[in-house]
Structure 1
Amino acid sequence: MPRSADAGKGLTAIVLGTNEIASAVGVFLHRVGFGVVLSQDDDHPVLRRKMAFHDALFGDTVKLDEVRAERADNGMQIFNALRHFRLVQVTWLGLPDLMPVGTIDVLIDARLQAQYRRPDLRGLARTSIGLGPGFVAGGNCDAAIEVLGARCAIDPASIVSALHAGRWHAHREIGAPVHRGEIIGDLSGDPQRAACDGVLRGLVRDGREVAAGITLLEIDRRGRHAQWTGIDDHSRAVAKAVLRALKLPAATKRRPKSARFPA
């Protein structure tokens, strides 16, 4: 791979996942010139939606670290968008639907889910990278990057998971201060309460059908140091590791301030 500031110019990267780490990777690849497409993993809802491009799938205006994303609904829309490289594309289309769009220069599996079998990515793109446990360089991908924890080291004491399947309805918004025992939403009418004091960092999108065991909400317990928007240090480190694996320099860009809990 070339090392110039426009090292990825004219190249296409497909990132599997729309979570906060997949989105951070998308931002960094976009900055070095790649045309980037994020493909949603519909089996697991995204929690940290204000730190990700996920909500663009629903037509929301989403900007992360000054990079905008838009929804793409079909292969032709993606093909045309990749000719301009202005925005990150976010789509419900899976990898089999994206492969006919054109040559995939870089394929990155950033789904980071513990309960699925890791696919063999080799041969599906010129370079394939697997993030998290289960990926082995030369085994099922060209490069493997370790990621702390299956889901970004989420504090188990700060989450609430679904005890049964149902439809989730959120009563609060990400970024809201909450108190232990406060009702945050309901699962098919069953109230779901905050497990601790803090700030809502993650919340399944309202109206989503979820399976038993799915995490519904996450609370950041750090008070005024809580973060619920922007790219956090962990996601930034993973994104930089991806560029290193591709032998690309990180583009220099001013880091915008993330939302913080008011003092």
Structure 2
Amino acid sequence: MRQKPFIIVRGGGDLATGTIHRLWAAGFPVLVLETEHPAAIRRQVAVCEAVYEGSATVEGMEAVLIKDTAEAKKVIDTGKVPLIVDPDGASITALKPEVVVDAILAKKNLGTNRSMAPLTVGLGPGFTAGVDVDIVIETMRGHNLGRIIREGSAIPNTGIPGNIGGYTAERVIHAGAEGILYNVHKIGDIVEQGEEIAYIADEKENRRYSVTATIPGIIRGLIRDGYPVTKGFKIADIDPRKSELSNCFTISDKARCIAGSVLEVVCAFGSNILS
């Protein structure tokens, strides 16, 4: 019997991490590809933090930064998930995986195509099943979240975050200026509306821009301290449910739903090639 299909996942943000964790837990060998400077907000549940820290652990799964694809198998054999900086996907050509999952969630296709692997899966809008990928997974909250699309595309991005505790756009904070962001609070802190959670230093104009909480709640996501941001860049996420502190450190319901659909597709594919 052949081994389980080798899977490469493009992207290591929080939603991607849900899929990576599910595949890892099911025993699939997985390699993660990331950019040089990931900008995850929900950093406590995003394996892309390994780019900065050398490793990142999410719900018992440890992702380890590697410098060369030759290290991937060794890391996988230890029960961990290798992660390499490879935004262009050169590792895909070198390693020839059976499955490629594009979990970048860029709302557009950044280069994934069906020639990359026998099975290609795209998460969210920007892909067309049967054209640039084989399968698309719906990522919009609601009745169709996690739906497996074999023909056509996911719902286009509305720009409106999902409703949590009665709040949508209000719970997501964007940079009001360009500069370097410095954190005043940390993920998991309870804040009140109007309270400063970070500030942006514009070193060119020697100005300081305060970043304040738009609603009361728990800081669920906050970009890395010292990260350079542009005006309008997403920098924080507040959960109005103050009693849900543990949610800051665990994979979300949305990520788990999407992950389940990816696993279903991969298992169906695997059963065919393993038979």
Q: TM-score, length-normalised on structure 1?
A: 0.83
Give the 3 Å change call, closer, same or farther, for CA 96–16 of structure 1 in structure 2.
Answer: closer
Give the 3 Å change call, closer, same or farther, for CA 103–117 of structure 1 in structure 2.
Answer: closer
Partner in structure 1 of residue 18 of structure 2: 24
Give the 3 Å change call, closer, same or farther, for CA 240–34 of structure 1 in structure 2.
Answer: same
Partner in structure 2 of residue 159 of structure 1: 172
The structural deviation recorded for 1:29 is 1.0
Give the 3 Å change call, closer, same or farther, for CA 42–195 of structure 1 in structure 2.
Answer: farther
Partner in structure 1 of residue 117 of structure 2: 125
Aligned counterpart in structure 2 of residue 231 of structure 1, from 241, 251, 270: 251
Uncovered stretches (5+) of structure 1, i.e. residues with no partner: 250-263
Note if 1:106 corresponds to 2:99. yes
The structural deviation recorded for 1:27 is 0.9
Structure 1, residues 167-200: CA drift from partner, whole Å, max 9, x if none?
Answer: 1111111001111111111111311111111000
Partner in structure 1 of residue 62 of structure 2: 68
Checking the alignment, whether the CA contact within 8 Å between 1:174 and 1:202 is kept in structure 2 is yes
Structure 1, residues 215-263: CA drift from partner, whole Å, max 9, x if none?
Answer: 11110001213521111211111000001112359xxxxxxxxxxxxxx
- Distance in 1 separating the partners of 2:85 and 2:110: 20
The structural deviation recorded for 1:10 is 4.8
Structure 1, residues 34-92: CA drift from partner, whole Å, max 9, x if none?
Answer: 2212222457611011122122221265322221111112223235434x151112222
User: Aligned partner of 2:248: which letter?
Assistant: W
- Distance in 2 separating the partners of 1:183 and 1:60: 30
User: Aligned partner of 2:263: which letter?
Assistant: L
Which runs of structure 2 are paired with 1:162-181 in the superposition (5 Å)?
162-181=175-194
Note if 1:182 corresponds to 2:201. no
Aligned counterpart in structure 1 of residue 239 of structure 2, from 212, 217, 220: 220
Note if 1:13 corresponds to 2:7. yes
Q: Secondary structure at the match of 1:234?
A: helix
Pick which of 204-213 and 90-99 moved more. 90-99
Which runs of structure 2 are paired with 1:241-252 in the superposition (5 Å)?
241-247=261-267
User: Aligned partner of 1:108: which letter?
Assistant: V
Partner in structure 2 of residue 260 of structure 1: none
Partner in structure 2 of residue 252 of structure 1: none
Runs of 4+ deviating beyond 4 Å: 41-44, 149-152
- Distance in 2 separating the partners of 1:117 and 1:97: 16
Checking the alignment, whether the CA contact within 8 Å between 2:215 and 2:240 is kept in structure 1 is yes
- Distance in 2 separating the partners of 1:156 and 1:131: 22
- Distance in 2 separating the partners of 1:35 and 1:217: 32
Checking the alignment, whether the CA contact within 8 Å between 1:11 and 1:33 is kept in structure 2 is no
Q: Secondary structure at the match of 2:256?
A: helix
User: Aligned partner of 1:103: which letter?
Assistant: K
What is the root-mean-square deviation of aligned Cα atoms in Å? 2.4
Partner in structure 2 of residue 96 of structure 1: 89
Uncovered stretches (5+) of structure 2, i.e. residues with no partner: 142-156, 202-207, 270-275
Q: TM-score, length-normalised on structure 2?
A: 0.79
